[in-house]
Structures are given as C-alpha cells and as structure tokens.
Chain A
Amino acid sequence: KNEVEQSPQNLTAQEGEFITINCSYSVGISALHWLQQHPGGGIVSLFMLSSGKKKHGRLIATINIQEKHSSLHITASHPRDSAVYICAVESNFGNEKLTFGTGTRLTIIP
C-alpha cells in the first residue's frame, strides 16, 4: 500500500461543476501539499497546509489530521483547470522531503 493514495485517478466533468479530489495518507506528517501539473511537466504548488482549511480563488483545500485525509475542491470549474493534481506529504521526521500520490487527472469539458 502506498503511503499516499489519491482518488479518483481520473475525473472528467462539465464546465461549471464542483470538483472534489481526495487524498489519504498513512504516515505522520508535518504538512501536506497540493500541486498542479500541466502537460509538459511543470509543477506548481497550490497549497501547503498542516491543519484546517485554505482558500485561494476558486480552489479550497482541507485537511483532517486525525483521519489522515485531505480534499481539494474546485468551484465553478473551467477547462483551464484541466491538469493533473498531485497530493504530497512531508513526513514528521524533519527531512522535509515529499512523498507523492500518483495524481488525479482532471479534464473539464466546455
């Protein structure tokens, strides 16, 4: 079992739909990251959180430390949101390296 599991692996939705991507992890962490990767490889950091909830524009990330679970939500989805969304965790051993999930490929259809 991978230390970081994401679901779903693939998600196709119509423009305007509310999107939820889930991430579960099995290790103690100091922080969880949500990243966005577009075709061609470039990765952009969306959120880094260790508790509660963060919001940036149409994106919302939540984390429940007790349940070892995080969600990424996209409101009013748009075709430009189409990308791979990756959850990654920093272990609490103090080395700050990231352990990544396999990603969720999101496609928003106009």
Chain B
Amino acid sequence: DTGVSQDPRHKITKRGQNVTFRCDPISEHNRLYWYRQTLGQGPEFLTYFQNEAQLEKSRLLSDRFSAERPKGSFSTLEIQRTEQGDSAMYLCASSSIAGVSYNEQFFGPGTRLTVL
C-alpha cells in the first residue's frame, strides 16, 4: 500500500454513459497526476495538479474528459459519453515538492474501466 487510494477499483459501463473516478493522494503531497494505461503499454500522462491548480493537460485529454482537485486534496476524473476506446486502467499518482521523497511519485492501485 503506497498510501494513494483510488475508487472504484473496477468500473464497467455502457458506451455513452458518464463515469467519475476518485483519487485520494498522500495527505502532504501537493502534486497529483493522472495517467492512462492500455493493455501491454506503458502509462501515458493525462494531466497534473499542483495543489488545486491544473497545470498541464495532455492532448490525449479530449473535451469529454475533465479533472478537478477542488481543495488541493482529492481529485476526480470524469469521462463523459464514454467510448469503447476509453477502456483502460486509469492511474493516479502523487508527489511532494519537498522532503526526502522529493518528486518521487507514489501510485494508486488504479481504476480499471471497461466500456461495453
């Protein structure tokens, strides 16, 4: 257990439905990252936050995707009008900009999304 939790762990949905995932980072970590991993591939960067500010979004993050970190603690990733191509593992990671673990990213267990 890295201290980063994600909910739900698995989500099966029908095409066209909206889904929302939650990530709870390590409490003192001010950076939070979302990644997506498809089968047999390495993770790909989606977006990241420093505190509540969303500092960068990947081109992969279409307008159907939105992420928030309203109080600089937990974050949500919402996918609207899901498509079969959205099926993947969605990973969250957090890091600190200070301390002995400076910039080391701690990953959550992931949310596996299956779009039917």
A contact residues vs B (CB 8 Å cutoff): 4, 31, 33, 35, 40-45, 48, 86, 88, 90, 95-103
Which residue of chain A is the closest to B109 with respect to CB atoms? A42
B contact residues vs A (CB 8 Å cutoff): 2, 31, 33, 35, 37, 40-45, 48, 55-56, 89, 91, 93, 95, 103-107, 109-110, 112
From B33, B89, B91, B106, contact of A97 by CB (8 A): B33
Q: Which residues of B contact A43 (CB under 8 A)?
A: 43, 91, 93, 107, 110
| Total cross-chain contacts (CB, 8 A) | 61
**A97 & B45 in contact (Cβ 8 Å cutoff):** yes
From A4, A40, A96, A101, contact of B95 by CB (8 A): A96
From A45, A95, A103, contact of B107 by CB (8 A): A45
How far apart sit A43 and B105, CA to CA, in the bound complex (Å)? 10
A interface secondary structure, majority: strand
Min Cβ gap A95→B in Å is 6
From A42, A45, A88, A96, contact of B42 by CB (8 A): A88
**B48 & A96 in contact (Cβ 8 Å cutoff):** yes
Q: Kindly list the 6 A-B residue pairs having the minimum CB-CB distance in the complex, ordered from nearest.
A: A100-B42, A43-B107, A41-B110, A97-B45, A102-B42, A42-B109
Q: What 12 additional pairs, Cβ within 8 angstroms, besides A45-B104, A88-B42, A98-B43?
A: A33-B105, A41-B89, A41-B110, A42-B109, A45-B105, A86-B42, A95-B55, A96-B48, A96-B103, A97-B48, A100-B35, A100-B43
Chain B CB within 10 Å, residue with most, of A43, A88, A98, A102: A43
How far apart sit A44 and B4, CA to CA, in the bound complex (Å)? 11
How far apart sit A102 and B104, CA to CA, in the bound complex (Å)? 20
- Assuming the contacts A41-B91, A42-B110, asked whether A98 and B45 have C-beta atoms less than 8 A apart, the reply is yes
Q: Which residues of A contact B37 (CB under 8 A)?
A: 41
